Amino acid sequence: MYFSARATIRAPLYLAALLVFSVVMVHSSDEGGETYAACNVEKYSNGSQFDTNLEELLKALTEKAAYAGFGASVYGQETPNKVSGRLQCRGDLSPADCQACSTEAVKVVQRDCPNAIGARVQLDHCFLRYENYTFLSDLDTNRWYELVNVNNNTDIHFNAAIRDLLADLSSRAPASPIKFALGSLVVSSNVTIYGMEMCWRDMSKDDCASCLSKGYEEVFSISSQRVGAQVFMGSCTLGYEIYPFAEHY
């Protein structure tokens, strides 16, 4: 499966001073791996209190995610030493697979964003973010990244089926305890569409619905007539393919 990929880093104006990011790596592979890494260009010093707090945060997030599929914490009381973070695995992952992905996400952020005061790493099966300010539960409907299948399907029934499937998932994911929904829809005897939608678990039901609604619009703005696409929003992710890309369809 071949993809074209494009980064779309667009920070809210009121956080412009904090969200100064550079994308240091962009790739996706059939074997699984990194989708994107975005690093704040501001740096912290080795051995600083922020460094210590970040180390403790990443350890705590990995342990929590391995146990429950999700972790969110804040270490430190005041800027410049405060650091908050979130680590979440895809809802269909086993605890063992989530632990493996979480461990890899920490390695990637340390490799690709060394000493960055804020970073986001999206792997195939998990997402890690930390910042030098508190962001947990904040709604972010910016589109950070996308993967679009280069192949087309111009069948009007195919495109209608994509909309129906994603609309159904958008209604189910916000109400899920883990903010996650999978589904599939048969288009013809040889074509089935598979979809997935997910919000970060610290989001409210209404904010999750708002993010997925925006993501729904973004999908169709970039993937008209494409047989597969995934959109990574600030507070959610959604996508569809013509093959089962999750564990439990």
pLDDT digit string, tens, across residues 60-91: 999 999 999 999 999 998 888 999 999 999 99
Number of Cβ atoms within 10 Å of the Cβ of 62: 20
State the average pLDDT over residues 175-186. 96
Mean pLDDT estimate for the chain? 86
Report the candidate in 63, 82, 80, 68 with the shortest Cα–Cα distance to residue 202: 68
Looking at residues 142-146, what average pLDDT do you find? 92
Q: Between 156-172 and 205-222, two packed helices, what is the crossing angle to 10 degrees? A: 160
The C-alpha atoms of residue 200 and residue 86 are separated, in whole angstroms, by 9
The pLDDT value recorded for residue 9 is: 38
Q: Which of 25-39, 50-64, 101-115 has the lowest mean pLDDT?
A: 25-39
Min mean pLDDT across 13-27, 55-69, 176-190, 235-249 is at: 13-27
- Region 83-100: mean pLDDT is 95
Predicted TM-score of the model (pTM): 0.86
Write out the two tokens for 76.
């430190």
Is the predicted pLDDT of residue 44 greater than 90, yes or no?
A: yes
Work out the angle at residue 132's Cα, subtended by the Cα atoms of residues 197 and 124, and round it to the nearest 5 degrees: 30
Q: pLDDT category, 247, cuts 50, 70, 90?
A: low
Q: What percent of the chain has pLDDT over 70?
A: 85
For residue 2, pLDDT beyond 80: no
What pLDDT does residue 249 have? Answer: 56
Q: Which of 82-86, 115-119, 155-159 has the lowest mean pLDDT?
A: 155-159
Return the pLDDT at 49: 96
Indicate the pLDDT class of residue 50, thresholds 50, 70 and 90.
very high
Q: In what side-by-side order are the strands of the sheet with 34-40?
A: 21-26, 34-40, 119-123, 126-131, 83-89, 70-75
Residues 62, 36 contacting (CB under 8 angstroms): no
Once rounded to an integer, what is the mean pLDDT over residues 156-173? Answer: 94
Is the pLDDT assigned to residue 27 strictly greater than 60? Answer: no
